[in-house]
Structure 1
Amino acid sequence: MSAQPPADRPDVSRATSDGFVRGLSQAIGGPLGAHAVPPESRPGRFWTAPRIVMALACLILAFSWVQKSPCMDGNWQNNVQYTRYCYTDVLALYYAEGLNEGKVPYKDHQVEYPVVTGYFMGVLGLPVHAYGEKNPDINQGSWFYNANALVLSLLAVISVAIVLALRRRRPWDAAILALSPIVLLTATINWDFLAIGLFAIGLLLWVRRHPLWAGVLFGLGAAAKLWPLFILGPILILALRTGRLRPFFGAFATTAVTWLLANLPVMVLWHESWLRFFRLNSERPIDWGTFWYIGRYFDGKWNSGAAGDQGPFQWLSDHVPTLNYLSYALFGLSCLAIMLLGLLAPRRPRLSQLAFLVVAAFLIFSKVWSQQYVLWLIPLIALARPKWGAVLAWTVAEIGYLAAFYAELMGAGGKSVIPEGTFVLASSLRLITVAVLCGLVVREIWRPELDDVRVTYGGIDPDAGPLDGPEHPWITGLRRFFGMGPSQEAPPPPVIPKDEPSPVPS
């Protein structure tokens, strides 16, 4: 009997829906034929696609722990933390933030991170210090790193599981996050998976139509790192297109209240410590590898022969407040452009597409783009545009930047490792590949028939949550004002057999 999928169920095989994977599949005989039985369809089979993806995620995180092992003792001699790519802020800041002396974050020492990250550091660091006082033979830094690595890895596995839950009919999309070499190298460089995990749980709650609880998780995520707050903009765009603002206002209110409640103890009791994060980000100059850093390099090249001449990027480097305003303005203009795109697109964009564009725009125009910030984008691109070719090109550029960045850090000691131009090239390639991903996402928003996720789910947005449904008539009027036709109504959801998972997680 034929194992061909029924007419109302699109073929979601990665080897047929993704051109890059289809090309690679030729090495093992090509995509599955019309009469082949997919492994996940065989009754009683344990190793289904979701379980394979989860196992691979655990394996990659275990390799990540091994990859960081040369740095765990804290004996960073001869730049071992850079030559072996095992540097981690987690270990370095155990000492720099005074946790090794039992200092309470914010109370005894001004922590440079938002409060939820500071709480996380204290909850794990202070017991390690107390245990180390009673057992002086242990390496406190190593224990602290391992405790953090365990929790952060658990949050990474949860994030993969949530991507799987959000794409039940496309489980291999989650492999973009689970198998990423970027995760292997950067998962525990800093505490970014704390914010990613909170954001992912919030997104799952949103999709399951719990906007108030989703806001609680978004607020906690924003109190750990700023970027989870940006999801409110894409939610607003979808709310405007559907005319249903109540879920947006509910999520917005609980996000704001949660953020305030998380910050309030430190804000009131140790106000100067609370301001440390905001002041540091306001005062920080142009950081390595950013758009502004690249511009300053070319300014120096073009004005090297003119004494006293200063290009615009060099001038901004000396006038940080103006740089801040310009960076915020460019990000704000990007958000305005994304809003116009979201409102004028032929069909309502998917939430993850808009979220990816907002976070990517923030990174492109930010004056700080730390090496681990790339982790913010991986789960979003897995949801927004799960096509492996462009993602792998971007991954190669990110790994190249990481190698060049560590070479720059070694060169900061006075002995040049690579020419400055090589580092600028690596930085440029990273920026360009992220911009290309943004362009590809924009293309699929404007031409929804090219969106594989939308095709798989019968034209609907599986992440819309409480904003799923017909569009408000005012969108048609807006499009006509700009000389466009009426928006395309999404087709009705496909009829799914009873034994098949629902397109929208429930």
Structure 2
Amino acid sequence: MIDDDRVHPTRDDPVGTSLSESLGGPLGPRAGRHPWWTPVRVVLAMTALCFALGMVQKAPCFADSWQDGDARYTYMCYSDLPYLYTGRGLAELNWPYTDDDQVRGRYEVMEYPVGIAYFAWATAWATHWANGSPDIEPRYAMPADSLFSDEEVAGEVRLFVVLSALGFALAALLSAWFLTQVNPRRPWDAALFALSPALALTALINWDLLVVVFVAGAMWAWARDRPGLAGALIGLGTATKLFPLLLLGGLLVICLRNRRMRDFWAAVGAAVAAWVLADLPAYLTGSEQWQVFWTFNADRGADLGSIWLVISESLDATFDPGTVNVGSWLFLGAWCLGVLVLGLKAPQTPRLAQLGFLIVAGFLLVNKVYSPQYVLWLLPLAVLARPRWRDQLIWQAGEVFYFASVWWYLGGDLDPAGGGDAGFYWLAILVRMLCELWLVGVVARDVLRPELDPVDRDQPMTTRSNVVAV
């Protein structure tokens, strides 16, 4: 017999209730529990299965070491990892921030934040060690752009992807565990993360999954009333991808409402300290190379997935990077101001997941590039902000539609037969944005009407005041 007050999806979620009918119906009051298969372990098993399916989805490209330029788009198995292994000097074990003239003459600087660069470099070392530490001296005499097609290096590329995937798998499992612990009464909400199509399809495109664990960990730490730890995890996340910095905006709203500004400043201080410590090795060994991430993003124009690309191509206009930067930041500033007002005017203190989701969604909607894997930035926030299968499926349906469309667009499969603009790809961008805006609207409604928030609605009055700020 059930003897705890945990919320079960077959009794709490209409979609879960409907799906359970084929398996005997919703969980009953006299249902027994398996002594080992706890909700947390089930969620972790789901995460492992989903991630494994994602690895299988990349199998066509893995089989030929990503050498087939058409297959990577046709089979939608593209990944940045194999190309950057040779394209950024990792095949020669070069430190990403070295200022050695010979290295910089052969390779571009790693254009990612330090957390990703460190992980990629460490994985490259592990790749060489696992491959018997091959002699890399002959590679120095080869043109850098020919390494990718070298047979020995091709084997390393596959191993590099496998070892990276193992690290990503650990990050996914740890993220899932954090999400089950944010609200102990609702561990099954993390199943929305564990079974996410977006997780399976995009986890291996780039290193973005590394930042997810810091976001999930920050929400877990805040739920445990540990603002310093939450801030430190936000700082480490910002050193891996910039967007976790936006979570401090959510903390500001909560702390203003609950008069916890001391906790806010503790989080900010810890975030700054963690970010500085993480960036220090890169800055001290190559300050110019460290700055490349910032200049690269500032000089970047409208790119794949962005509304700026749709506007510029449909109007046959060209926006210089400065115009896009100013426009994006102005919109984001107005959006954040709107979230601030929404959070302060709400009948009850919104949860961090709700505020964080709204802020990050606004950042992505007007960003100059919106890559397919950026959905991972929203995933841990979204599943806790609105733990309902219907809304999550609507949102992720748009992501899956865009995922297929962008690869077929890059492969030329969406080019009109008579020539002209790729209108179908523009449509895919708009559909993705509309599905995301649907979820934004539902979360904003929950903030304004807390009685519609499934998390708030299910909390006992004795714990309600603590959970709403999580």
Common fold, TM-score beyond 0.5? yes
TM-score by length of 2: 0.88
Equivalent position to 1:443, from 437, 442, 445: 445
1:303-357 CA-to-partner distances (Å, cap 9, x unmatched) read xxxxxxxxxxx2xx33220210110110011000000000011111111100100
Alignment of 1:348-367 (within 5 A): 348-367=349-368
Structure 1 letter corresponding to 2:459: Y
Q: Distance in 2 between matches of 1:15 and 1:124?
A: 41
Give the corresponding residue for 2:341: 340
Q: Distance in 2 between matches of 1:249 and 1:217?
A: 14
Q: Which runs of 5+ in 1 are unaligned?
A: 301-313, 466-506
Equivalent position to 1:47, from 27, 31, 37: 37
Alignment of 1:349-498 (within 5 A): 349-411=350-412, 420-458=422-460, 459-462=464-467, 464=469
Equivalent position to 1:82, from 46, 62, 73: 73
CA contact (8 A) 1:350 1:461 kept: no
User: Does structure 1 residue 25 correspond to structure 2 residue 12?
Assistant: no
Q: Distance in 1 between matches of 2:437 and 2:455?
A: 21
Alpha carbons of 1:363 and 1:5: their partners in 2 closer, same or farther (altered >3 Å)? same
Alpha carbons of 1:461 and 1:130: their partners in 2 closer, same or farther (altered >3 Å)? same
CA shift at 1:189, angstroms? 0.9
Moved more, 202-211 or 354-363: 202-211
Moved more, 21-30 or 47-56: 21-30
Give the corresponding residue for 2:209: 193
CA shift at 1:412, angstroms? 8.9
CA contact (8 A) 2:307 2:365 kept: yes
Q: Which runs of 5+ in 2 are unaligned?
A: 136-151
CA shift at 1:21, angstroms? 2.5
CA contact (8 A) 1:407 1:418 kept: no
Give the corresponding residue for 1:95: 86
Over the matched positions of the two proteins, sequence identity in percent amounts to: 37
CA contact (8 A) 1:444 1:450 kept: yes
Alignment of 1:303-318 (within 5 A): 314=317, 317-318=318-319
CA shift at 1:135, angstroms? 4.0
Structure 1 letter corresponding to 2:269: A
User: Does structure 1 residue 235 correspond to structure 2 residue 251?
Assistant: yes
Moved more, 168-177 or 247-256: 168-177
Alpha carbons of 1:418 and 1:223: their partners in 2 closer, same or farther (altered >3 Å)? farther
Q: Distance in 2 between matches of 1:204 and 1:242?
A: 19
CA contact (8 A) 2:254 2:352 kept: yes
Give the corresponding residue for 2:125: 126
TM-score by length of 1: 0.82
CA contact (8 A) 2:312 2:319 kept: no
Structure 2 letter corresponding to 1:55: A
Give the corresponding residue for 2:283: 267
CA shift at 1:203, angstroms? 2.5
CA contact (8 A) 1:68 1:86 kept: yes
Give the corresponding residue for 1:71: 61
Q: Distance in 2 between matches of 1:413 and 1:102?
A: 39
CA shift at 1:460, angstroms? 3.3
Alignment of 1:181-220 (within 5 A): 181-220=197-236
CA contact (8 A) 1:186 1:372 kept: yes
Q: Distance in 2 between matches of 1:343 and 1:376?
A: 25
Give the corresponding residue for 1:37: 30
SS of corresponding position for 1:318: coil
**Structure with bigger gyration radius:** 1
Q: Distance in 2 between matches of 1:93 and 1:17?
A: 45
CA contact (8 A) 1:155 1:194 kept: yes
CA contact (8 A) 1:291 1:365 kept: yes
CA contact (8 A) 1:57 1:179 kept: yes
Aligned residue pairs total 440
1:365-385 CA-to-partner distances (Å, cap 9, x unmatched) read 111111100011111111110
Structure 2 letter corresponding to 1:77: D
SS of corresponding position for 1:460: helix
Alpha carbons of 1:461 and 1:397: their partners in 2 closer, same or farther (altered >3 Å)? farther
CA shift at 1:59, angstroms? 1.0
User: Does structure 1 residue 58 correspond to structure 2 residue 59?
Assistant: no
Give the corresponding residue for 2:180: 164
Q: Distance in 2 between matches of 1:348 and 1:289?
A: 34
1:384-407 CA-to-partner distances (Å, cap 9, x unmatched) read 101111111111111111111001
Equivalent position to 1:288, from 289, 304, 312: 304
1:99-128 CA-to-partner distances (Å, cap 9, x unmatched) read 112221111451100111111111111342
CA contact (8 A) 2:228 2:266 kept: yes
What is the aligned-residue RMSD (CA, Å)?
2.4
